[in-house]
Protein backbone atom coordinates (compact mmCIF):
# COMPACT_ATOMS: atom_id res chain seq x y z
CA UNK A 1 0.00 0.00 0.00
CA UNK A 2 2.83 2.38 0.87
CA UNK A 3 4.55 1.58 -2.39
CA UNK A 4 1.39 2.36 -4.40
CA UNK A 5 1.03 5.72 -2.65
CA UNK A 6 4.69 6.52 -3.36
CA UNK A 7 4.28 5.69 -7.04
CA UNK A 8 1.09 7.76 -7.23
CA UNK A 9 2.86 10.69 -5.56
CA UNK A 10 5.77 10.54 -8.03
CA UNK A 11 3.39 10.36 -11.00
CA UNK A 12 1.30 13.31 -9.79
CA UNK A 13 4.43 15.37 -9.09
CA UNK A 14 5.72 14.62 -12.60
CA UNK A 15 2.39 15.61 -14.13
CA UNK A 16 2.32 18.91 -12.23
CA UNK A 17 5.89 19.67 -13.35
CA UNK A 18 5.05 18.86 -16.96
CA UNK A 19 1.98 21.11 -16.94
CA UNK A 20 4.03 23.90 -15.35
CA UNK A 21 6.72 23.57 -18.01
CA UNK A 22 4.20 23.72 -20.84
CA UNK A 23 2.46 26.81 -19.46
CA UNK A 24 5.74 28.56 -18.64
CA UNK A 25 6.62 28.95 -22.31
CA UNK A 26 8.43 32.21 -23.02
CA UNK A 27 7.60 34.14 -26.15
CA UNK A 28 6.31 32.74 -29.41
CA UNK A 29 7.32 29.57 -31.21
CA UNK A 30 7.18 30.29 -34.94
CA UNK A 31 7.33 27.59 -37.61
CA UNK A 32 7.82 28.51 -41.28
CA UNK A 33 7.25 26.04 -44.09
CA UNK A 34 8.18 26.58 -47.74
CA UNK A 35 5.73 24.57 -49.85
CA UNK A 36 6.76 26.19 -53.11
CA UNK A 37 9.20 24.92 -55.71
CA UNK A 38 11.38 28.02 -55.23
CA UNK A 39 14.06 29.00 -52.74
CA UNK A 40 12.68 31.73 -50.45
CA UNK A 41 15.05 34.31 -48.97
CA UNK A 42 15.01 37.80 -47.50
CA UNK A 43 12.37 37.15 -44.84
CA UNK A 44 12.64 38.72 -41.40
CA UNK A 45 10.52 38.96 -38.25
CA UNK A 46 10.14 42.25 -36.45
CA UNK A 47 7.97 44.28 -34.08
CA UNK A 48 7.92 47.84 -32.77
CA UNK A 49 10.79 48.49 -30.31
CA UNK A 50 12.71 45.31 -31.16
CA UNK A 51 16.46 45.72 -30.64
CA UNK A 52 17.12 44.29 -34.14
CA UNK A 53 14.98 42.37 -36.67
CA UNK A 54 15.34 38.58 -36.77
CA UNK A 55 16.63 37.39 -40.14
CA UNK A 56 15.20 34.10 -41.41
CA UNK A 57 17.69 31.93 -43.30
CA UNK A 58 16.88 31.01 -46.91
CA UNK A 59 14.34 28.20 -47.17
CA UNK A 60 14.80 25.58 -49.86
CA UNK A 61 11.69 24.07 -51.48
CA UNK A 62 9.95 21.84 -48.93
CA UNK A 63 12.13 23.09 -46.05
CA UNK A 64 10.87 24.10 -42.61
CA UNK A 65 12.42 26.48 -40.09
CA UNK A 66 11.51 27.10 -36.44
CA UNK A 67 12.41 29.94 -34.12
CA UNK A 68 11.40 31.39 -30.78
CA UNK A 69 10.67 35.11 -30.45
CA UNK A 70 10.80 36.25 -26.82
CA UNK A 71 9.73 39.93 -26.55
CA UNK A 72 11.08 40.17 -22.99
CA UNK A 73 14.60 39.46 -24.27
CA UNK A 74 14.44 41.15 -27.69
CA UNK A 75 12.66 44.44 -26.99
CA UNK A 76 14.00 47.81 -25.93
CA UNK A 77 12.94 49.45 -22.68
CA UNK A 78 10.27 51.48 -24.55
CA UNK A 79 8.31 48.35 -25.52
CA UNK A 80 4.68 48.35 -24.40
CA UNK A 81 2.87 46.18 -26.90
CA UNK A 82 3.05 45.51 -30.62
CA UNK A 83 2.20 43.24 -33.52
CA UNK A 84 4.62 40.51 -34.62
CA UNK A 85 5.33 40.98 -38.33
CA UNK A 86 6.91 39.00 -41.15
CA UNK A 87 8.47 41.28 -43.77
CA UNK A 88 10.14 40.75 -47.14
CA UNK A 89 10.73 42.52 -50.45
CA UNK A 90 9.32 41.39 -53.79
CA UNK A 91 11.27 41.42 -57.10
CA UNK A 92 10.47 45.13 -57.56
CA UNK A 93 11.90 46.08 -54.13
CA UNK A 94 8.47 46.72 -52.59
CA UNK A 95 8.30 45.70 -48.92
CA UNK A 96 5.40 43.43 -47.95
CA UNK A 97 4.19 42.95 -44.38
CA UNK A 98 2.25 39.98 -43.01
CA UNK A 99 0.87 39.89 -39.45
CA UNK A 100 1.98 36.83 -37.50
CA UNK A 101 0.54 37.88 -34.12
CA UNK A 102 -1.94 40.78 -34.18
CA UNK A 103 -1.06 42.14 -30.72
CA UNK A 104 1.09 41.06 -27.78
CA UNK A 105 2.85 42.43 -24.71
CA UNK A 106 5.73 41.19 -22.58
CA UNK A 107 4.67 37.98 -20.89
CA UNK A 108 2.46 36.81 -23.73
CA UNK A 109 3.23 33.44 -25.28
CA UNK A 110 1.97 31.27 -28.06
CA UNK A 111 2.75 29.74 -31.36
CA UNK A 112 2.27 30.45 -35.03
CA UNK A 113 2.67 28.49 -38.23
CA UNK A 114 3.42 30.17 -41.54
CA UNK A 115 3.01 28.14 -44.71
CA UNK A 116 4.32 29.73 -47.89
CA UNK A 117 2.02 28.32 -50.59
CA UNK A 118 3.16 30.04 -53.79
CA UNK A 119 5.19 32.87 -55.30
CA UNK A 120 3.61 35.30 -57.76
CA UNK A 121 5.65 36.37 -60.82
CA UNK A 122 6.45 39.71 -59.10
CA UNK A 123 7.86 37.87 -56.05
CA UNK A 124 4.87 38.42 -53.73
CA UNK A 125 4.35 35.41 -51.48
CA UNK A 126 1.00 33.73 -50.91
CA UNK A 127 0.88 32.26 -47.43
CA UNK A 128 -1.36 30.90 -44.70
CA UNK A 129 -0.72 32.09 -41.14
CA UNK A 130 -2.31 30.48 -38.08
CA UNK A 131 -1.60 31.70 -34.55
CA UNK A 132 -2.52 30.87 -30.99
CA UNK A 133 -1.69 33.41 -28.29
CA UNK A 134 -2.15 33.39 -24.52
CA UNK A 135 -1.29 35.63 -21.59
CA torsion sign for 5, 10, 14, 16 is positive
CATH number of the CATH domain containing 67:
2.60.40
Cβ neighbours of residue 48 closer than 8 Å, sequence gap 6 or more? 79, 82, 83
Contact 14, 94 (CB under 8 A): no
115: in domain: yes
Q: What's the pLDDT score for residue 9?
A: 66
127: in domain: yes
118: in domain: yes
38: in domain: yes
Q: What's the pLDDT score for residue 8?
A: 65
Phi and psi based region of residue 123 (left: phi greater than 0; alpha: psi -120 to 50; beta: remaining): left
Tell me the whole-structure pTM to 2 decimals.
0.77
Residue closest to 109 by CA, chosen among 74, 72, 79, 77: 72
**pLDDT (tens digit, 9 = 90+) per residue, 37-48?**
999 999 999 999
pLDDT at 121 exceeding the cut of 80: yes
Q: What's the pLDDT score for residue 56?
A: 96
14: in domain: no
pLDDT at 122 exceeding the cut of 90: yes
Q: Above pLDDT 90, what percent of the chain? A: 60
Domains: count for the chain: 1
Q: Kindly give the pairing relationship between strand 54-55 and strand 44-46.
A: antiparallel
Q: What angle do CA 63, 65, 66 make, to 5 degrees?
A: 155
Domain residues for the domain of 73 are 28-134
The rounded mean pLDDT for the chain is 87
pLDDT at 25 exceeding the cut of 70: no
Q: What's the pLDDT score for residue 68?
A: 94
109: in domain: yes
Q: What's the pLDDT score for residue 78?
A: 81
**pLDDT (tens digit, 9 = 90+) per residue, 47-87?**
998 888 999 999 999 999 999 999 888 877 888 888 999 99
- Give how far the C-alpha of residue 120 lies from the chain's centroid of Cα atoms, to the nearest Å: 24
Rounded-to-integer distance, Cα 108 and Cα 118, Å = 31
Amino acid sequence: MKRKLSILFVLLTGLVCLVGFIFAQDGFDIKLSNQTKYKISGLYVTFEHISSPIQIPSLAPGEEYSLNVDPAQLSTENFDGAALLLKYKDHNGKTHTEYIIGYFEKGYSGEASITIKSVRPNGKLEMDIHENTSL
